[in-house]
Amino acid sequence: MKHIRSLDEFPRGRTYLTVGSFDGVHRGHQGLLSALAQAAHQAGAQSAVVTFFPHPVAVLRGLSQPYYLTSPEERARLMGECGIDVVLTLPFTRELAALSAREFVTLLREKAGMESLWVGYDFALGRNREGNVPALQRLGEELGFTVHVLPPVALEDIPVSSSLIRAALEQGDVVSAARMLGRPYTIEGAVVHGDARGRTLNIPTINISFWAEQRLPAFGVYACRVEVEGLVLDAVANIGIRPTFANPNGEVRLEAHLLDFSGDLYDRTVRLQFVAFLRPERRFESVEALVAQIQQDIQHAREVLTHAA
């Protein structure tokens, strides 16, 4: 998979492509991307995605809190796993938003060699979303590309969407989020130095830096798995502000205690997979009470992870 940032970098050739934000690359996205890639390769064409960063919502309406389910790099990697050959991440600007549907698809036809445009049933592009499916089909007849429309992917009759995944994470419902994503929700980051309090409690933890713009699950304690350099380790993790201890700035931390592991992971990149919500974060009256609860959390996490797929 080739990840590029400009139409001028687009590899020459016949192209089947799709356009969209694709935040999360969830099961609905995966169905479209896999079908597109398969059809393109059968036709001897390259498969491509034109996507954006920042998200159009961030530019046109502003965001008051972390929003993204995936970073641009993670999103491109997941698209490659679906068989996509080229991912173009365009900087989304108001100038880009002002392009008409005709202007945008003309660019795709001329710069990317678009031969077939694959879209969802409710797709629209261009200024004021004027380029809906019927409009694109008319433009395709005029400019020389086909439009292929796919139905939505639904779970229990509810269409899968990035918005529903964000709502599930807000409730700490990482099980529903994983079902819609087709994989556990994941945060990737480097292991950084903390205040070493876990070691003083004889429950060492790793502190994981995270992208400030990524949506975090609800504050609380989770059963998790941690990937690091080919290893997959069971863990119990906490997201929150650690209310039992002084935290005047209200800094949000992501910490994980790795079960049955000892070693130095500082500066290593890890991927934390959320498997199940165990309990909300809360303040304890004493350190002893906190330690007792953490021991219960560890046992609970072991039981959950033993039975998790």
Catalytic residues: 255
**Residue whose tokens read 């549907």:** 101
3 state DSSP class of 195 = coil
* Contacts with 177 (C-beta within 8 Å, 6 or more apart), sequence order: 165, 168, 169, 185, 217, 274
Measured between alpha carbons, how far apart are the two ends of the chain, in Å? 29
Closest CA to 20 of 67, 52, 60: 52
DSSP 70: S
Distances (CA, A) of 69 to 66, 178, 180, 272: 9, 12, 12, 13
Instruction: Kindly compute the dihedral angle of the four CA atoms of residues 18, 177, 175, 64, in this order, to the nearest 10 degrees.
Output: 160
Three-state DSSP class for 180? helix
Of 24, 5, 110, the closest CA to residue 69 belongs to 24
Task: Please list, in sequence order, all residues whose beta carbon lies within 8 angstroms of the beta carbon of residue 280, skipping any fewer than 6 positions away.
Answer: 172, 218, 219, 220, 221
Residue 24 contacts residue 164 (beta carbons within 8 Å): no
Of residues 211, 256, 11, 4, the one with CA closest to residue 113:
11
Q: Which two tokens stand for residue 199?
A: 């070691």
